[in-house]
Amino acid sequence: MSKPRIAIDMDEVIADVVPKFLDIYQRLFGVRLQPRDYWGKKVYQIDGADQIRSFLHEKGFFLDLPVMPGSQETIRRLMEDYDVFITTAAMEFRASFEDKYDWLAQHFPFIHWKNIVFCGDKSIIQADYMIDDHAFNLRAFNGKGLLYTAPHNVHETGFTRVDNWQDISAFFEREKR
């Protein structure tokens, strides 16, 4: 009998991209942004900062991102009862493939390569649950969507919100009952 499936996004869910954007912004503009400066949007959506998005195309951008606290332990536990897949929309950023694969191998070596899905449109993902920071991915998803809190989605109200990996762990503990 197969286990229920969980599709887990990478950027801003298990890999923390915000500190890197803040470092780039500071390097370019000489100012360290505070959360209130980018609340409700991506750092590169701040007026005049759209050039920051181009860094996503650079080889190595995704290679040294910090791991979201608690994600490794929680995913390892979830794998006991669920089939876990990392589902990352990497098609837009060609240079990200190898970086993301290597990052996952370093920080999540217990996730088999067959459980890593590089895609463009996540509506093709067939799973029971999806954890993502983008509401548009969850809107196109047929299972239960969990919105992982990120600065850009703080005003979104259409999904079950999880603020951290402790919330995710608690959610799935309730689901098992």
- pLDDT (0 to 100) of residue 146: 98
Active site (catalytic) residues: 9, 11
Q: Which residues contact 11 (CB under 8 A, 6 or more apart)?
A: 17, 62, 65, 88, 133
Q: How many residues belong to the chain?
A: 177
- Whether pTM exceeds 0.85: yes
What is the per-residue pLDDT across 44-64, written as a single tens digit (0 to 9) for each?
A: 899 889 899 999 989 999 999
d(CA 24, CA 115): 31
- Write down the mean pLDDT value for the chain: 95
- pLDDT (0 to 100) of residue 1: 65
Q: What are 135's two structure tokens?
A: 């509401």
- pLDDT (0 to 100) of residue 68: 98
Count Cβ atoms within 10 A of the Cβ of residue 21 and give its class: 0-12 exposed, 13-18 middle, 19 or more buried: buried
Cβ atoms of 7 and 123 closer than 8 Å: no
At how many degrees (to 10) do helices 71-78 and 165-176 cross?
20
Counting residues of the chain whose pLDDT is more than 90, the rounded percentage is: 88
